[in-house]
Amino acid sequence: MYLKQYIDHTLLKPTATEADVTALCKEAVHYGFYAVCVNSCYVPLAKELIRDSKVKLAAVIGFPLGAMATEAKIREVEYCVAHSADEIDMVINLGWLKSGRYNEIISEIEQIKKVIDKGTLKVILETCYLSEKEIQLACELCLKGNADMVKTSTGFGPEGATLKAIRIMKDSVGDNAGIKASGGIRDRKTALEFIKAGASRIGTSSGVKMMEE
């Protein structure tokens, strides 16, 4: 197994500069990572930098809270798709989940998936705020909304990915969706443990370190 094929090389810090994103993309191309993951404002720059490579471009939307209006999320997705993003990582509306507004969540995911069409849609659950039953429920809603993958975390919550959450997510989605473990994964050994537990993608800013290990 080649770990590099699982890695979304990620830079989402609010202070990320153009130089930082340029370095990220050059590293991804050099090491052959699966994708780079950036904030939507850097989609055009990142796409230009990886254009002649096999590296995919993922953009986060509704990030990191997920609490903005559906219309705002859709407009952000449209911008990213117009600038050739291959994948979208959207944040689920946690307030809606805890309020029982399940149909709105399904509809939001469906609408965003419709915009990106054949592109990959990952839905971030921010599992640190959810009980085991809520993680299961969130996964079910994502499947009903036609999401391609479910993802643990933004990296901005009080806790990132956990093996327990990955196992719950795997039990919930089975082979019907991929799973991305993201948040706090900083070394090769940990990344491999998450893959063994069921993750099909690893979101990390420590990809280079993992390759050097």
On whether the CB atoms of residues 148 and 122 are closer than 8 A, the answer is yes
Range list of β-strands (E), 53-147 = 56-61, 87-91, 120-124
Cβ atoms within 10 A of the Cβ of 15, count?
Answer: 5
Q: Which helix (H) or strand (E) holds 9?
A: strand 7-11
Residue pointed to by tokens 């559906």: 70
Range list of β-strands (E), the chain = 7-11, 35-39, 56-61, 87-91, 120-124, 149-151, 178-182, 201-204
Number of domains the chain contains: 1
Strand partners, 60: 39, 89
Which of the following is catalytic: 86, 89, 148, 170? 89
Look at residue 40 in the predicted model and tell me its pLDDT: 98
Look at residue 1 in the predicted model and tell me its pLDDT: 65
Can you say whether the dihedral through the CA atoms of 76, 77, 82, 87 is positive or negative? positive
114 is catalytic: no
Question: In this structure, what CATH number is given to the domain that contains residue 42?
Answer: 3.20.20.70
Question: Which burial class, exposed, middle or buried, applies to 55 when counting CB atoms under 10 A from its CB (0-12, 13-18, 19+)?
Answer: buried
Residue pointed to by tokens 């975390």: 153
> Which tokens in the block code for residue 123?
């839905």
Q: Which helix (H) or strand (E) holds 207?
A: helix 207-212
Look at residue 171 in the predicted model and tell me its pLDDT: 98
pLDDT tens digits, the chain, 213 residues: what are they? 699 999 999 999 999 999 999 999 999 999 999 999 999 999 999 999 999 999 999 999 999 999 999 999 999 999 999 999 999 999 999 999 999 999 999 999 999 999 999 999 999 999 999 999 999 999 999 999 999 999 999 999 999 999 999 999 999 999 999 999 999 999 999 999 999 999 999 999 999 999 999
171 is catalytic: no
Range list of β-strands (E), 108-156 = 120-124, 149-151
Residue pointed to by tokens 């995911």: 109
DSSP for residue 158: S
What three-state secondary structure class fits 176? coil
151 is catalytic: yes
Q: Which domain holds residue 111?
A: 3-212
Can you say whether the dihedral through the CA atoms of 25, 27, 28, 32 is positive or negative? positive
